[in-house]
Amino acid sequence: SQQGEEDPQALSIQEGENATMNCSYKTSINNLQWYRQNSGRGLVHLILIRSNEREKHSGRLRVTLDTSKKSSSLLITASRAADTASYFCATDQAGTALIFGKGTTLSVSS
């Protein structure tokens, strides 16, 4: 069953602009993760945020988590062409599984 759902499905911006992607989920979570996937490659882990955290930073990435709204956002500041990729959120469910959303496809043009 799908837990996380990203929004928008696709996003096109210019280099230097900020990109914001959102993830909504249905049931309570313990942790939420964000991944990036470049075309033809595997997923790369970006950030893990715990349910008791509200915000986390890693370089140009900023992730927020609002458990009351069951949502998270990923902000990429000062986007570069190399940020062009699909971005997925993943949440836990009972047991060991991570449930991934369908992803947001980000295109950054120079």
Partner 1 sequence: ETGVTQTPRHLVMGMTNKKSLKCEQHLGHNAMYWYKQSAKKPLELMFVYSLEERVENNSVPSRFSPECPNSSHLFLHLHTLQPEDSALYLCASSQELGQGGNQPQHFGDGTRLSIL
- Minimum CB separation of residue 18 from partner 1 in Å reads 25
Q: What is the 3-state secondary structure (H, E, C) of 2-58?
A: CCCEEECCEEEEECCCCEEEEEECCCCCCEEEEEEECCCCCEEEEEEEECCCCEEEE
13 binds partner 1 (CB under 8 A): no
63 binds partner 1 (CB under 8 A): no
When binding is defined by CB under 8 A, the residue of 29, 63, 74, 76 that contacts partner 1 is: 29
91 binds partner 1 (CB under 8 A): yes
| Residue 95 or 110 having the CB closest to partner 1 | 95
The region, left, alpha or beta by phi > 0 then psi within -120 to 50, assigned to residue 82 is: alpha
| Residue 38 or 109 having the CB closest to partner 1 | 38
